[in-house]
A and B are shown apart, each in its own frame.
Chain A
Amino acid sequence: METFAQSLVSGVLTGALYAMIGIGLTVVFGVMRIINLAHGEMVMLGMFGAFWSQKLWKLDPFVSILVWAPLMFVAGMLLYRLLLRKIIPGGELNTLLYTAGLSLLIANLALFAWTGDYRTISLSYGITPFRPLGIAIAVPLAVAFVLAILITVTLWLFLSRTDLGRAIRATSQNPEASVLMGIDVERVAMVTFGLGTALAGAAGVLLAPSLYLYPTVGELLIVKCFVIVVLGGLGSVPGAIAGGILLGVVESLGAVYVSGTYKDGIGFVLFLAVLLYRPSGLFGAGR
């Protein structure tokens, strides 16, 4: 029973971080209908941001999110303006391949700049976990969990309470009608891409203290990310949250009750099954 409770808790905690990565991807997909294959690299950049903040400026990695999230937001908007805008009209396959190229480029530039060394962030308060009810919870993971919830709530408020947020949701639901309603789709797309990038960066910052980082870590994350957004339904934010937590729990319980090496396989099988039988996601929220 303790084993079950423990793996359930760590599954939920890890799952919340997975969800953070998924939300960024799904928001971009919702508005622009593109799957950004370079999303994992953006998470990686966030991780390195947290790492260098601590290394160079002695900044707590979690505090550094205040620097990196806005910076990634601007970077994302620029990326859209300068590179992606011309590509998207060429069709979704071209965009997919283009972001695949971008992903290769970013990961390998990072590899060149920072070498393939794996790094970890050690926090003075991160060493001993606290144990409510005998269940061990690592401090950095708990902090990240709380921040992830905060960020998600803020995002939700932004999407539901502000004009720009509503415009994003409207475009996501019906692009043609949005244009007719006088929404500046171009601007919405730019902001959305910035938002997606910022979310990826923020997720990276939150993940970094619980994980290790190296330039090609994005490859590992993007695959999980696909699983998450497909489980939840592409384009759906609540879906991505549910998908992330579901994947975290499934992996965690799978590692305990199924052989460890097949653990990753469970995720993919689930992924394929959902893609095939419920393409709108397990919760029917996406399209």
Chain B
Amino acid sequence: MRKLVSSVLATIGVLVSTSALAQPIKIGAPQPMTGPDAPFGDKFKKAYTMAREEINAAGGVNGRKLEILIEDHQAKNQLAATVAEKLITEEKVLVMTGGRGSGQAIEIASVCQRLKTPYLVDHPSADMITSKGFEWVFRNNPTGSIYPMAFSDFITNYPGAMPKSAAVVYDNTLFGKTIGGAVIKILKAKNVSVVADEAYPVNTLDFKPTMTKVKATNPDVVLLVAVATTDAILLTRHAKEMGLTPRAFVGFGGGFGVADFASQLGPLAENVFSSAAWSGNPNDPKTKAFYEKFHAKYAIWPHEHEVEGYSAIYILADALKRAKLTGDLDADREAIRKALLATDMTTVFGKVKFGNWTGPLGDAYTNQNVYSPGQSVMAQWKGGQLLNVWPKAFAETALVFPEPVKK
């Protein structure tokens, strides 16, 4: 009798688990779909959708389709924690990605760590996310303190690029302070005198006074950090209006890399550098093909965000393929975490392998992409287009330096 019961139970167990296996694999992705950051949420949605459609069309993951559940967090920390909680406990997603803002990503990471669900960070850059020892949190993209690495490489290795003096202007957000701090540290290590060190509140209406002050110090290069596109645009506009003529303007942060920057500034954008996380190596045929494909589908050229979002889904699909899924939620999440730890692949964003190492500002990273330091590039605005110029291996065009003096 007991044998019979147990065999019946076993059969039921098999039935249950096979039916669970036939269902799509759910990936949760909190993103700002409404509110001030909504344009970014939309970028990720497009990228995720494209990756999902491709993977599913090619037979899915071991025969199972992928399903990506995007939940709106409106760029609010509290809501990010709430929707992460909902995705994990209600929707029972196997793995999480997304986040967009660093504050929201920290909340999501904290929830995922607590509920033992793997979380692949695809864009948020705060060092803290992977430096708190969260073993359930992985990050493909470079951290904030890595953003200026290409710039550091440029001034060291490009003949005559080492500045005599530098002005650093950064916003007082987490992003701005991290990068401003990293830039100043790099400059000091190379004995460059920092003649102006100016922090400003985000969404400043008028940079003319700040720029007047900067101009008085007569810096050799001007380094601008802005998390907000509006600040990036006004910083550049007001710097040029005030008549600053350094050898180079170098921008750090998303705002210096978006199409708006050129369209709003027109000729003022010409020759401004942008040192940031890259959008993949444009000389890599696979990455190039992705740009074309994305453009054909959505009629916009993908940048940082789209490339990161698209790659994240491929990284997850790869891990899901290697993980032995049983239908038991806890065991499966653990299996995926193990699989992510063994990730070693190349996406359109670049190579990825997660490891524990120390960042440029001394942060002890956990599960941070070990190839991150090489995934920062310097690009330059030319005729309304942002083209990679440094390091040479990833360059799309020759760089203009120093900035030609007008009239």
Contacts and interface: CB of A to CB of B under 8 A. Distances in A.
- Any A–B CB pair closer than 8 Å: yes
Interface of A: 2-3, 6-7, 10-11, 14, 111-112, 115-118, 120, 122, 127, 129, 131, 136, 138, 211-212, 214-216, 220, 251-256, 259-261, 263-264
B208 A10 contact: yes
User: Which of A10, A212, A260: most chain B Cβ within 10 A?
Assistant: A260
Contacts of B35: 111, 116
Contacts of B209: 6-7, 10-11, 251-256
B241 A138 contact: yes
A256 B213 contact: yes
Interface string B246-287: 000000000000001001111110000000000000000000
B241 A120 contact: no
Nearest to A131: B243
A33 to B, nearest CB: 29
B241 A3 contact: no
A2 B228 CA distance: 30
Main secondary structure of the interface of B (DSSP, over half): helix
A47 to B, nearest CB: 12
B206 A261 contact: no
User: Which of B212, B233, B242: most chain A Cβ within 10 A?
Assistant: B212
B241 A111 contact: no
Nearest to A124: B266
Contacts of A216: 36
Given A115-B38, A256-B209, A264-B201, 11 more contacts: A3-B213, A7-B213, A111-B34, A120-B264, A127-B267, A129-B241, A136-B242, A212-B234, A255-B200, A256-B210, A260-B200
Given A260-B201, A261-B172, A116 B38 contact: yes
B39 A255 contact: no
7 contacts: A3-B215, A116-B35, A116-B39, A120-B233, A220-B203, A255-B200, A261-B201
Nearest to B231: A212
B210 A255 contact: yes
Main secondary structure of the interface of A (DSSP, over half): helix
Contacts, number: 98
B233 A212 contact: yes
A3 B217 CA distance: 11
Contacts of A253: 209
Nearest to B241: A129
Given A118-B229, A260-B210, A261-B200, A136 B36 contact: no
A33 B264 CA distance: 41
Contacts of B266: 122, 127
Nearest to B200: A260
Interface in B121-161: none
Number of chain B interface residues as a range: 35 or more
B37 interface: yes
Contacts of A112: 34
Interface string B31-56: 00011111100000000000000000
B205 A14 contact: yes
A263 B201 contact: yes
B37 A116 contact: yes
Contacts of B205: 14, 211, 220
B230 interface: yes
A261 B169 CA distance: 11
Nearest to B263: A122
B221 to A, nearest CB: 19
Nearest to B213: A256
B396 interface: no
A111 B36 contact: yes
A263 B199 CA distance: 10
Contacts of A118: 228-230, 260
User: Which of A112, A120, A216, A251: most chain B Cβ within 10 A?
Assistant: A120
Interface in B361-385: none
Contact of A214 (B36, B204, B243, B265): B36
B34 to A, nearest CB: 7
Contacts of A10: 206, 208-209, 212
B242 A6 contact: yes
B216 interface: yes
Interface in B188-239: 198-201, 203-206, 208-210, 212-213, 215-216, 228-230, 233-234
A6 B238 CA distance: 12
A256 B216 CA distance: 11
* Closest 4 pairs between A and B when the two form their complex, measured CB to CB: A255-B209, A116-B36, A10-B208, A260-B200
Contacts of B38: 111, 115-116
A127 B268 contact: yes
A112 B38 CA distance: 10
Nearest to A8: B209
Contact of A255 (B213, B242, B265, B267): B213
A260 B208 contact: no
A106 B328 CA distance: 48
A256 B199 contact: no
B198 A260 contact: yes
User: Which of B209, B215, B234, B267: most chain A Cβ within 10 A?
Assistant: B209
Contacts of B260: 118, 120
Contacts of A122: 263-266
A215 B39 CA distance: 13
Nearest to B243: A136
A214 B267 CA distance: 24
A131 B37 CA distance: 38
